[in-house]
Amino acid sequence: KIIDDVNDPEIPQEVFNKIDENLKKQTDNKDKNSNMEQLKKMPSLSPQTISINNNTTTTFEKRNSIPKKRSDADLELETNAEIDKQNIEKEIENILN
């Protein structure tokens, strides 16, 4: 049902209470999320441990706010490094066996 008139006597007060409660939950969640976003954006020189609600401690590492776009050269280096790693692991296995 769409409520056109908030002063409509047919609408029980519980309906408004429930609506208020739901709105409050939504804004509480938004506040929590925005606080987390703010914490993530905070510049920090070293890992920071932040206590939330006095019981959970979360360590935030410094992150670059803008993820660096990886070039093809970077990807190629990563791929080569991964291949090297696998080859070394195989060599170690062969030596051990």
Question: Using the 8-state DSSP alphabet, how is residue 57 labeled?
Answer: E
Provide the Cα torsion 82, 86, 91, 95; round to 10°. 130
* CA–CA separation, 35 and 13 (whole Å): 33
Q: Structure pTM?
A: 0.27
Whether 96 has a pLDDT exceeding 80, the answer reads yes
Whether 47 has a pLDDT exceeding 70, the answer reads no
CA-to-CA separations, 66 to 5, 42, 46, 85, in angstroms, rounded: 48, 13, 18, 29
Give the residue-averaged pLDDT of 43-47.
Answer: 53
Whether 57 has a pLDDT exceeding 70, the answer reads no
What's the mean pLDDT when you consider all of the chain?
Answer: 70
